[in-house]
């Protein structure tokens, strides 16, 4: 794949510097929204799905600092991984809608959540009419460029079963040629779209990354609130590969002191090999401020001894300490050789953010002034 290392920037959870939060408004806003957001569905446990009509759906490299284009069919993700770096994207959408007068203060409080991170998991924005927006956006993408789906949300989270936004996107993309595509997901639902993935890779390059940080289902549940069990993800990987789709495993983030021991990684490598993974990427945790609010309490609950170590190791920066990253890289390379995976330099980031990724093009449908 011409740009096979796009996943380098994703291993470890992406590099982002979140916008400051909890800023007090200078002048309190008390206003009814012109039209309330359109709620598409609501689940018993309180997850609400809200329509969003984006003007654009492809984020260009210049907006994200990544060297590929990105597309996220949803904002927010029900899987709710404690280490997820993408929560800031949800916060941006909600804050911008509030600043623009499209959400009342009460709606803002609901769509933001008590701590600023819960809403990412329970107020899911569903991008509607994406194909029209994509049609226009694709004209801006030069031949040979790479588009990654799922950099800030899981494109096959439970919402996709009903809303099928990702499938609509893929249907349009199958008409492209000469591009590179990557998809990252934790969900076996991706196997539903095998037909489209096969068509997509006929005239384009394609990498499907099944994301899995541990083979241990109990451990995964502690760290990822509602993600599919590891065995289901590995079965999906096997199905894709058996069908002829170029699919592999992404182990990211590797969590220091939790999932980085040789025995656990070896089990994952062996499982990937058995499933027929064509490639394997791995990278260490990046602990940016946007992640800390959610991750550190989970760490404290399940691994209290590690809290001071993480605090020291990640003090003042989000990257894993260089020596740790190098040691982990050596460990991964040994396991790659052992299990017959090709060497790939996924451990060291090419990702240097130029700017915060923007979601400014999004509009809350039905609440425009
Ligand atoms: S599946 Fe991905 S986008 Fe969703 S919560 Fe987990 S890390 Fe974040």
pLDDT, tens digit (0-9, with 9 covering 90-100), for 89-103 = 888 888 888 898 888
Each residue's pLDDT tens digit, 82-133 = 999 998 888 888 888 889 888 889 888 888 888 778 899 999 999 999 999 9
Q: Evaluate: CB of 183 within 6 angstroms of ligand 1.
A: no
Question: How many Cα atoms within 13 Å fall on the side-chain side of residue 16?
Answer: 26
**Residue 32 pLDDT exceeds 80:** no
Order of strands across the sheet that contains 48-52: 39-42, 48-52, 123-127, 74-75
Residue with the smallest CA separation from ligand 1 atom 3 is 153
What's the CA-to-centroid distance between 205 and ligand 1, angstroms? 24
Architecture of the domain made up of 4-339 = Alpha-Beta Horseshoe (3.80)
**Residue 303 pLDDT exceeds 70:** yes
Q: Which ligand 1 atom lies nearest to the CA of residue 153?
A: 3
Return the best residue to mutate from 80, 229, 251 for the ligand 1 pocket (most ligand atoms within 8 A of CB): 80
Q: Which residues pair with 183 in a beta bridge?
A: 149, 208
What's the CA-to-centroid distance between 218 and ligand 1, angstroms? 18
d(CA 154, CA 150): 5
Higher pLDDT: 189 or 288? It is 189
Burial of 131 (0-12, 13-18, 19+ CB in 10 A): middle
Angle 122-56-167 from CA coordinates, rounded to 5°: 65
What mean pLDDT is reported for the chain? Answer: 85
Q: Classify 153 as helix, strand or coil.
A: coil
Q: Tell me, what's the pLDDT at 116?
A: 72
Query: Which residues lie below 8 Å from residue 226, measured CB to CB, with a gap of 6+?
Result: 78, 79, 80, 121, 158
| Residues 178-195, mean pLDDT to the nearest whole number | 98
Q: Classify 148 as helix, strand or coil.
A: strand
Query: Which residues lie below 8 Å from residue 304, measured CB to CB, with a gap of 6+?
Result: none
Angle 167-173-179 from CA coordinates, rounded to 5°: 140
Give pTM, 2 decimals. Answer: 0.84
| Residues 282-308, mean pLDDT to the nearest whole number | 94
What's the CA-to-centroid distance between 224 and ligand 1, angstroms? 8
d(CA 314, CA 286): 8
Return the best residue to mutate from 81, 121, 183 for the ligand 1 pocket (most ligand atoms within 8 A of CB): 81
CB 162, CB 41: distance < 8 Å: yes
Angle 345-351-353 from CA coordinates, rounded to 5°: 175
Residue with the smallest CA separation from ligand 1 atom 6 is 81
d(CA 95, CA 109): 10
Q: Tell me, what's the pLDDT at 233?
A: 98
The domains of the chain are located at 4-339
CB 121, CB 80: distance < 8 Å: yes
């Amino acid at each position: 794949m011409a740009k096979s290392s796009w996943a380098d920037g994703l291993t470890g959870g992406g590099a982002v510097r979140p916008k400051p939060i909890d800023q007090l408004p200078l002048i309190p806003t008390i206003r009814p929204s012109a039209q309330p957001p359109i709620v598409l569905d609501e689940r018993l446990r309180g997850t609400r799905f809200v329509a969003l009509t984006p003007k654009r759906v492809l984020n260009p490299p210049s907006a994200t600092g990544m060297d590929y284009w990105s597309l996220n069919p949803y904002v927010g993700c029900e899987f709710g991984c404690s280490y997820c770096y993408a929560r800031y994207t949800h916060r941006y959408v909600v804050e911008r809608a509030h600043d623009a007068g499209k959400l009342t203060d009460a709606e803002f409080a609901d769509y933001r959540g008590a701590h600023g991170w819960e809403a990412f998991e329970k107020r899911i924005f569903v991008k509607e009419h994406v194909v029209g927006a994509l049609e226009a956006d694709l004209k801006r993408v030069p031949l040979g460029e790479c588009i990654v789906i799922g950099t800030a949300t899981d494109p096959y989270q439970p919402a996709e079963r009903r809303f099928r936004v990702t499938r609509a996107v893929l249907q349009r993309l199958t008409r492209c040629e000469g591009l590179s595509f990557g998809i990252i997901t934790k969900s076996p639902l991706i196997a539903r779209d095998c037909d489209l993935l096969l068509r997509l890779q006929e005239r384009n390059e394609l990498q499907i990354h099944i994301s899995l940080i541990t083979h241990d289902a109990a451990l995964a549940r502690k760290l990822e609130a509602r993600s599919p069990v590891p065995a289901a993800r590995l079965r999906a990987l096997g199905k894709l590969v058996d069908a002829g789709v170029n699919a592999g495993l992404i182990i990211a983030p590797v969590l220091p002191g939790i999932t980085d021991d040789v025995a656990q990684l070896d089990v994952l490598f062996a499982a990937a090999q058995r499933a027929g993974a064509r490639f394997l990427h791995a990278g260490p945790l990046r602990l940016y401020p946007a992640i800390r609010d959610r991750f550190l309490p989970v760490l404290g609950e399940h691994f209290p001894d590690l809290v001071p170590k993480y605090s020291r190791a990640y003090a003042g920066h989000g990257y894993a300490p260089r020596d740790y990253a190098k040691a982990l890289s050596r460990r991964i390379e040994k396991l790659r050789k052992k299990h017959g995976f090709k060497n790939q330099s996924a451990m060291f980031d090419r990702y240097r953010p130029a700017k915060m990724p923007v979601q400014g093009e999004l509009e809350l449908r039905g609440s425009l002034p």
